Structure 1
Amino acid sequence: MPTSIITTDDLRDFKLELLDDINQLLAQHATVKLKKYLKSSEVMDMLQVSPGTLQNLRVNGTLPYTKVGGILYYDAEEIQSVMTANRVQNKIH
């Protein structure tokens, strides 16, 4: 079985190719648009909350929603706005 020697130039080329591939994947992912409206299960997964917590967020008016035919929909942009508005900045002394 023949052996091949890997040089530092080979490793540098591999690194550059790998970085190009990663950048292409990130660019593709960035162009994927999030859905405009999310169902309750998607919001629970996104926020990592239970059904009861999601209900509390609806009842106390924290998360706006739309009910169509018994299905609750949440605007993805409004969820992001709520998260941004309630962000807590830690002050380090």
Structure 2
Amino acid sequence: MTELIDLVLKLSQDLQQIKFQLQQFQKSRLERFTEAWIDGQDVMQTLHISKRTLQSLRDEGTLPFSRINGKFYYKLSDIEQLLESNYSHLNKKSNGSK
């Protein structure tokens, strides 16, 4: 009889773990769909770049995109990552001496 109780308890724990994993999976799927996207016009205005420069970033694979009916969309996180990867901090002395 105790073996049966132990088996039911183990099964209950396994079901709780599966339920938790399913909830985490659902949560991550929702997060993927709630990420902000902007169109090419907004990217050009934000980065102060031309249409041709934006096209070059796409063609080179530098900036991932999605295309729907001829209109391009970009994830804000990808634009942020592009800016971070090109960030340069130069230490220049203010008095000009070495």
Output the TM-score relative to the length of structure 1: 0.58
Do structure 1's residue 80 and structure 2's residue 80 form an aligned pair?
yes
What CA distance in whole angstroms lies between the structure 2 residues aligned with 1:61 and 1:92? 33
In the other structure, the counterpart of 2:41 is 41
Counterpart CA distance in 2 for 1:92 and 1:48 is: 26
Q: What pairs up with 1:1-93 in 2 under 5 angstroms?
A: 36-92=36-92
What is the Cα deviation at residue 77 of structure 1? Answer: 1.2
Specify every segment of 5 or more residues in structure 2 that has no aligned partner in the other structure, as ranges. Answer: 1-34, 94-98
> Which whole-Å CA distance do the structure 2 matches of 1:85 and 1:37 have between them?
20
Q: State the 1:61 CA deviation.
A: 1.3
- Which amino acid counterpart does residue 41 of structure 2 have in structure 1? S
Q: Distance in 1 between matches of 2:71 and 2:42?
A: 12
Report SS of the residue matched to 2:89.
coil
**Inter-partner Cα distance in structure 1 for 2:61 and 2:88:** 19
Once the two structures are TM-superposed, the CA of residue 92 in structure 1 deviates from its matched residue by: 2.6
**Counterparts of 2:60 and 2:88, CA distance in 1:** 20
Which structure 1 residue ranges, 4+ long, deviate > 3 Å from structure 2? Answer: none
- Amino acid in the other structure paired with 1:36: A
CA shift for structure 1 position 81? 1.0
Secondary structure of the residue aligned to 1:43 is: helix
TM-score, normalising length from structure 2?
A: 0.55
Q: CA RMSD in A?
A: 1.5
